[in-house]
Structure 1
Amino acid sequence: MAAPGAAAEPAADAALWAEVRALLPGGEEGLTLALSGEVEDCVLPLLRRARGLLYSAGRPRGEAAAALRRLGDVLRDYSWEKLNAGPWREVSKAWRQVYAYGCLFGALAEVAAGRPLPRAVRLCDLGLLMGATVLDNVLARLVRVLQPHLPRAERREAAAGSAESARADPAPGPVELPHLRCPSLELFRDNYLIPQKPVVLEGIIDHWPCMKKWSVDYFCQVAGCRTVPVELGARYTDEEWSQKLMTVGDFIDRYIVNKNSLGYLAQHQLFDQIPELKEDIGIPDYCCLGEGEEDDITINAWFGPEGTISPLHQDPQQNFLAQVFGRKYIRLYSPQDSENLYPHESQILHNTSQVDVEDPDLDKFPNFRKAAFQSCILMPGQVLFIPVKYWHYVRSLDVSFSVSFWWS
């Protein structure tokens, strides 16, 4: 006897393929395989063969789906070598597009064959992370179609509860930085932006949907199946620090719920990769006082457990650090104290201090005691303005999610 619901699976399978197929051009000639530069001669025939398999039978099945899957693997493997042959800024956009096509064909092969969807979603994420946009950002549109068909992530009530309780937890100790509630643009510009003084702003993100919606449980539901880069270790200056690709759900299980060790989701592309999250935030109005356009603002996500640390460092742009849930202890040092903060001599870490701020070795770094600092505990709903080149040290006091905006 067939299992309950088994008869409905083929119809659901066909409906999903129809929904996926609608994302693509109607005919083979419409999928142009346009690249923005030159690639090796062997690549274009592989792309065309994959395209032919996709369109020849209406829906690749059996051997056709397996062949399309293999071609996706070959295209990704071949372009991966090009993506890792030198500095990222020197990687040709054309090779990133080839990688994206490899991810696309691989994901489509998974769906066409009726295979479990997590691998298809992972391929989409890899293409979004490492590839370049193709076919009007088809990978982002494809993952939006696939995600509702995945099994719903289990609720993590304990972790969600810890995040919710963090919202109402009172701040211990004094707050030394000045606080302003919804200052005018002119007041902020004249008293903080122009003189480059840090300040905590209140009331400016209360209207963001994320302030009511976001929690650990919410991220499991919205992004649990999505593959992202995760930083492993308490701080990036530690020798054992590393990076690894994993799903948001695995990250939450290992580092938020089970607390096996310290890991941090520090993502510069998260809001482009998962637009549902970007819809829940806004850009602070004060960014309009900068010289660049809105598209020039870099939005970063910072999600991690209690105890994760950003060592004392400085950034090359102005920074608004918005706290969504959880609390963070933050220390700020003026750029005028740079010599007393002992920056690393290596070019890679020249913007990072050698000093462990909360346990300094004053025999090794004697002038550190001369450096004056301001501090605060950044609470949910507060936004810290960190002027360009201002040194800052950050330690999470709870499960915490922050959004930062770098602008000029």
Structure 2
Amino acid sequence: MSVQDCVRVAKRQRMTDTTSQQPVLDAGTQSIWAVLANELQAVLNDWDPEDSIRLCGDAPLALLSSRPLQVMALAKERVNTWEYRRVPRCWLRLFEDASLAYVITLLNIRDDGNKWVDEVVKVVDNAIIMTGASCRSALFTKTLLQLEHVVEADASPEWPEAFVIVSPASLETGNFISSCGPPTLTSFQAHIDEHTTPLLIHRAIEHWPAMKSWLRPSYLLKRSLGGRRLVPVEIGETYTHSEWRQQLMTLREYMKEFVLSRSSHGIGYMGQHDLLRQIPALKDDISVPDYCFTSPPNHRPATLQGQPPVAELDEPSLNAWLGPKGTKSPLHHDPYHNIFCQVVGYKYVRLYPPVDSRSMYAHGIDEKGINMANTSAVDVKFLRSDKGTIFVVNSEDAPLFCAREDFQEAILAPGDSLYIPAGWWHYFESLTTSFSVSFWWN
């Protein structure tokens, strides 16, 4: 959807934005939801003439309020016929508004129990995850804030008070990443200008409320409507393995099956998900590091040369990473600079400079036509031995990689932040239950 579309819709939502932080409690308990449904319907009935949703045609728009599920199915079918980055924005807008229409239906016919709450959360999160909800985010947020008053008395499962974190032994290596206490912005700018190498920064995020609150499963449940919020979970060792798949599940289900116990279905990882935009209450527990607002160097590393330039980010792009011991991100590089912050638990990281790219055995285009050139075909695991800290599963197929000695490595502890320059190869593996936040910037 165009920026103009969103601006126009945002203007029409202004009256809901101004009240989105306060529940409508003065209308009486039984009518709160009717008031909310009427407010949502008023906005849904008032499209701007130039809203891109009109490109879907008059027929689906006419059926939005009476048959929202059918319109959602139509929009999803259209979306799935395209590679996601090429999907016409009108179909994403249609799915977004059809989801909102179905939420209105659920608010009007709610049952005596809380099953309707589960369904509303499911519909809203599906819309957010699938479309980004760039035009209806204020309305979805307002709906979810109202629901907090229904589920706040929900009993939490009998989970531990805090995640069990056992500190790993210190890393014995001669290839440490350069480290320091929190540098000044001037010092950090000088480092990336003169060296453009990884930098491990200790104690830079110790003031975050997340450092304490995210240790508690009960807190994460409370902030996610009793764990009802949907999250995408990667099931399998890494995305380079054939058995790997993704599945949407509630945060409660994910934590119960994969984080707090060993699952019979293998390893599950909530990796690279914009959880903090989806759940703004969690974003309040952190702050964007000031280092993300320095100026990155102008030169492009060897790994990115010849590739089309990436979009310039107006603000840092945040992603959350939550998983049990053993969750991994395969060896890869990214087109953005990264401040990777370790909040809960411990994580091993190994990095290789862009000049080592020929030794990384990068994937090409896979059988589905997806470009995997930023990901190494070398399968590695963290394993302490007299030969080092990495075990190469397919070492006979990667002699050049095994010969590289210019890597850098560290174990990230809670409170650590790691600067990863754009184009540097890096591998992560959780050594305990781990919760991290990455900040891409350029």
Structure 1 distance, partners of 2:436, 2:105, is: 37
Could you tell me which runs of 5 or more consecutive residues in structure 1 were left unpaired when the two chains were aligned.
1-10, 51-67
Kindly indicate whether residue 174 of structure 2 is the aligned counterpart of residue 172 of structure 1: no
* Deviation by residue 1:310-361 (Cα, 9 ceiling, x = unmatched): 1111111111110010100111111111111211132522111111233323
Q: Secondary structure at the match of 2:205?
A: coil
CA contact (8 A) 2:37 2:108 kept: no
Distance in 2, matches of 1:136 and 1:257, equals: 31
Q: What pairs up with 1:40-59 in 2 under 5 angstroms?
A: 40-47=57-64, 50=65
- Do the aligned residues in 1 keep the contact of 2:189 with 2:295 (CA within 8 Å)? no
Matched residue type, 2:56: V
Unaligned runs of 5+ in 2: 1-27, 297-310, 381-389
On the 8 A contact 1:202/1:383 being kept in 2, the answer is yes
Deviations 1:347-397 (A, max 9, x none): 522111111233323322111122121110000000011111111111101
TM-score calculated relative to the size of structure 1: 0.85
Distance 1:29 1:345 in 2: 47
Q: What is the rounded CA distance, in whole Å, between the counterparts of 1:317 and 1:28 in structure 2?
A: 37
In the alignment, the residues of structure 2 paired with residue 45 and residue 16 of structure 1 have an alpha-carbon distance, to the nearest angstrom, of: 24
Which of 337, 359, 380 is matched with 2:391 structurally? 359
Q: Which residue of 2 aligns with 1:234?
A: 237
Hey, what's the Cα distance between the residues in 2 that align with 1:376 and 1:27? 51
Contact 1:23 1:142 in 2 (8 A): no
What is the Cα deviation at residue 198 of structure 1?
A: 0.6
* 1:283 counterpart residue number: 288
Moved more, 294-303 or 117-126: 294-303
Matches within 5 A, 1:187-198: 187-198=187-198
Equivalent residues, number: 373
Distance change (3 Å), C-alpha of 1:29 and 1:129: closer
Letter in 2 for 1:268: H
Per-residue displacement from partner, 1:103-138 (whole Å, max 9, x unpaired)? 111122112112321001110111111233335631
Q: Match of 2:56, SS?
A: coil
C-alpha separation in 1, matches of 2:371 and 2:313: 28
What is residue 95 of structure 2 aligned with on the other side?
Answer: 99
Mapped contact 2:40–2:104 kept (Cα < 8 A): no
After superposition, the C-alpha distances for 1:257-305 in whole angstroms (9 at most, x for unaligned) are 2321210112432211111111111111111113698733210110001
Tell me if the contact between 2:318 and 2:439 (Cα under 8 Å) persists in the aligned partners: yes
Matched, 1:112 2:95: no
Structure 1 residues 188 and 136: alpha-carbon distance in aligned structure 2, compared to 1, 3 A threshold = closer
Give the aligned residue type for 2:104. Answer: L
Give the percent of matched residue pairs that are identical in Structure 1 and Structure 2. Answer: 33
* Structure 1 residue matching 2:40: 3-state secondary structure: coil
Q: Which amino acid aligns with 1:118?
A: D
Deviation at 1:179, TM superposition (A): 1.5
In structure 2, the CA distance between the partners of 1:252 and 1:241, relative to structure 1 (3 Å rule), is: same
Find the residue that maps to 2:52 and give its secondary structure.
coil
Q: Does the 8 Å contact 2:41/2:101 carry over to 1?
A: no
- Where do residues 258-297 of structure 1 align in structure 2 (5 Å cutoff)? 258-260=261-263, 261-290=266-295, 295-297=314-316
CA distance in 2, matches of 1:249, 1:102: 26
The answer to which of 352-361 and 393-402 deviates more is 352-361
Greater CA drift, 37-46 or 128-137:
128-137
SS of aligned partner of 2:326 = coil
- Return 189-198 or 333-342, whichever deviates more: 189-198
Check whether the contact 2:125–2:230 (CA below 8 A) recurs between aligned residues: yes
Residues 317-356 of structure 1: matches in 2 within 5 Å? Answer: 317-346=336-365, 348-356=371-379
Aligned residue runs from structure 1 range 203-218, under 5 A: 203-215=203-215, 216-218=217-219
- More displaced stretch, 379-388 vs 272-281: 272-281
1:17 pairs with 2:13: no
Equivalent residue in structure 2 for 1:87, among 80, 83, 103: 83
1:31: Cα distance to partner? Answer: 6.4
Q: Which residue of 2 aligns with 1:54?
A: none
Paired letter, 2:360:
L
The aligned counterpart of 1:371 is 404
Say whether 1:299 aligns with 2:318. Answer: yes
Alpha carbons of structure 1 residues 307 and 29: separation in structure 2 relative to 1, 3 Å:
closer
Which structure features the higher share of helix residues? 1
Identify which of 44, 51, 64 aligns with 1:35: 51
